[in-house]
Each structure stands twice: as structure tokens, then as C-alpha cells.
Amino acid sequence: MKKITHPLIDLSWLKEIQFYSLKLLVRATSAIDFSRDIGSALRGGLGYPFKNLVCEIDHPPENCHQCHAGERCAFNRFYGNWNPLDWHHSPAAPRPFILHAPEQRQRILQPGDIFSFKLLLLSPYLPVFAQLMSALVKFGGTGIGRRRKQQTGTFELIAIHDLNQNNKVIFNLQKPHSVEKPALFCLPDSDFILRRQRFRLHFLSRTRLVFDKKLLGKQTSYAALNTAVIQSLFRRFYLLYAAHFNPNSPPLHQFGLELIELPQSSHRLQWRESMRRSVNHKNQVPQGGFVGTVDWPQEYNLLYPLLKLGQYLHLSKSATMGLGAYRIEFKKISHAKPQSAQSFF
């Protein structure tokens, strides 16, 4: 088995990725049909009023790459293919937000029913928060879900909870002109101490991972799952860090991600098929992914900071619409004395 390279073990830069984590409570003001993917509907529906609020020039989203506003345009950073990194063959920067709504057990909501979703926003974009909330209000008046053109699917924002402050209410409908500043979150030092606990990853929403140009679980087996998880997390977080926090970071290819190889472990995963309508492709596109649990190999617990951050920032493509959500579940807690954080680096 190939060894993990030293640059990956030094994960202290993950502490600089700071973000706000909010739960938005909304109330249906007409019937809402959630027969289609709610995460895709939220991201797409919020995009149009957001573009109308921040865009300097009125043009279709597919023409954003031709706009002179470029880097200073908030819509381009949130929905476009913005890339500030001067790297050879650099991919587009990961978007600085995530919208995650749990799957609705009740597919049809009636007026007065309440549902919630989470908004994660990277710290440099707090000035855009007010515009996002204004766009959400306009979005609620337009409607979400199927048959919204039939004057259904409308909703209103009734409260915002700060998940970084124990679910503290920072906005409610009774005081519509008063919004408290949310609190920042970053990984604490305790997450960088080598853990002796056994844990597993529980994938809550569909997760799409490509390894060796094949879709895990769909086009190939899960044999390389652990390797694909770490490579995908590291790539996603490093691009987030470089694009939104430290543009002077060295190119990603210097870290030798191809040298990372982790052993296979037991899993209880299943593939869940889904489709969504793509505005860019003008048709239905596959959006399936795997869900379930996988045991994490204890000898690679030194990678815990990556996995812990992934609980908030998600994994894989389409994370902005809630895909790739998972949580860490500890199986057995050991009382052995952990190594110090200094020896970790």
C-alpha cells in the first residue's frame, strides 16, 4: 500500500476555513409539491431573484463569462464558474454556500405547514447575507416546487436560527427589521488531536464520487471508497481555502493526491437513483448517489479533521444543493490517553 504524503498530514490550514451555519424556518402560504428534488429546487429558485438583486447587467446566466463585472460580481461567485486561481488547468472554485434540506416525508405541504433548510455561508460573504435573504423573500413570493406557475408553492420566511450558537433565534417574523449577526465556526484545536475512537460515516443524502473516471456504486464497486472520500474532501476544501481565503496558496497538484491510497472497509451502502432538471442542459440529468454507512479504518484517524469539516461542507459535486451530506457516528469510545496535537504535525 502506498503511503500518505506529509503535506496531507499537516491539515492546520483547515482552521482558516470559517463559516456561518444557519437554519431557516419557512411557512407555506399555498400548497407546495415537493415531488422533485428539493435541494435542486431551492438552489435554482433562489438564483434568479439573487441575480436580479446583484447583477450589474441584465443578461442570461449562461452569458456571465462574457460580463465585464467578472470577479466583483457576487452572482458569478455564487452561481457562475468563477476561478480566481492562476493555476495551470485550475478548475472552477467551489461555491461559497450550501443549501441543504432534509428529504420531506410529506411530499405535499398545505398552507400553514412549516419546513426548514440549512444555509452554510463562508465568512468572507457575510456582506452578501442581506441580499440572499431579500432574494429568499422574493423567491417565496414566486413559489417553489412543481406547479408553481399555478399560483402555488409560495412561502414566507418566519425565523432564522444560528446553529453555531445552540440554535439561537437571530431573526423572527414578529421583528422583521431586526437581525442579529450570526457567529462564526471553525474547527477547534481538539479536532486535531489523534483519536483512538472507532467511528463510521453515515451518508444522509445522495453522494456522487468519481474515482478513476468511474462513478462509485454505479459504474464500479465501493472498493476504493475510502480513498475517493479523502481525495475528494482534500481537493474540495483546498480549492475552497485557496479561492475564498488565501489566493496565494500553491497549486493543488503539488500535494500528490494520487499517492493517497486507503484500505477497503465494511460498508452498508445502496445506490439511490434520481433526476433533476438542469437549466444549463435544458433537460433532465442524472442525480443519483449512494447512501448508507461505511466503517472508517482506525489506523487512518489522523485524517479526522478532514472528515469532521466534511460534516458541515459536504462531499462531492452538487454539494451546494445538499448532496454529499454525512455525519460521523462514534461506535466505541476508548479512554486511552490521546497523543498531543504537536506530535500530530
CATH of the domain at 319: 3.30.70.1900
- Among residues 182, 234, 199, which one has the least CA distance to residue 326? 199
Backbone angles phi, psi at 296, to 5 degrees: -95, 135
What's the chain look like in SS3?
CCCCCHHHHCCHHHHHCCEEEEEEEEEECCCEECCCCHHHHHHHHHHHHHHHHHCCCCCCHHHHHHCCCHHHCHHHHHHCCCCCCCCCCCCCCCCCEEEECCCCCCCEECCCCEEEEEEEEEHHHHHHHHHHHHHHHHHHHHCCCECHHHCCCCEEEEEEEEHHHCCEEEEECCCCCCCCCCCCECCCHHHHCCCCCEEEEEEEEEECCEECCEEECCCECCCCHHHHHHHHHHHHHHHHHHHHCCCCCCCHHHHCHHHCCCCCCCEEEEEECCEEEECCCCEEEECCEEEEEEECCHHHHHHHHHHHHHHHHCCCCCHHHCCCCEEEEEEECCCCCCCCHHHHC
**243 and 296 part of one domain:** yes
Q: Which domain holds residue 158?
A: 20-172
> Final residue of a domain: which of 172, 201, 234?
172
**340 and 194 part of one domain:** yes
Task: Provide the CATH number for the domain around residue 149.
Answer: 3.30.70
Residue 226 within any structural domain of the chain:
yes
**70 and 140 part of one domain:** yes
> Final residue of a domain: which of 140, 172, 204?
172
For helices 38-54 and 129-142, the axis angle rounded to 10 degrees is 120
The span from the CA of 254 to the CA of 236, in Å, is: 15
**42 and 107 part of one domain:** yes
Residue 181 within any structural domain of the chain:
no
**36 and 12 part of one domain:** no
The span from the CA of 139 to the CA of 26, in Å, is: 12
**47 and 136 part of one domain:** yes
Number of domains in the chain: 2
**227 and 330 part of one domain:** yes
For residue 127, the model assigns a pLDDT of 92
Neighbours of 299 (CB within 10 A): 8
Q: Which residues of the chain have pLDDT under 50?
A: 1-7, 333-345
Residue 182 within any structural domain of the chain:
no
Residue 314 within any structural domain of the chain:
yes
The span from the CA of 341 to the CA of 315, in Å, is: 26
For residue 76, the model assigns a pLDDT of 84
For residue 293, the model assigns a pLDDT of 94
For residue 64, the model assigns a pLDDT of 67
For residue 72, the model assigns a pLDDT of 76
> What is the pTM (predicted TM-score) of this model?
0.85
For residue 256, the model assigns a pLDDT of 59
Residue 325 within any structural domain of the chain:
yes
**130 and 225 part of one domain:** no
**155 and 255 part of one domain:** no
**148 and 206 part of one domain:** no
For residue 30, the model assigns a pLDDT of 92
For residue 97, the model assigns a pLDDT of 94
> Final residue of a domain: which of 172, 206, 241?
172
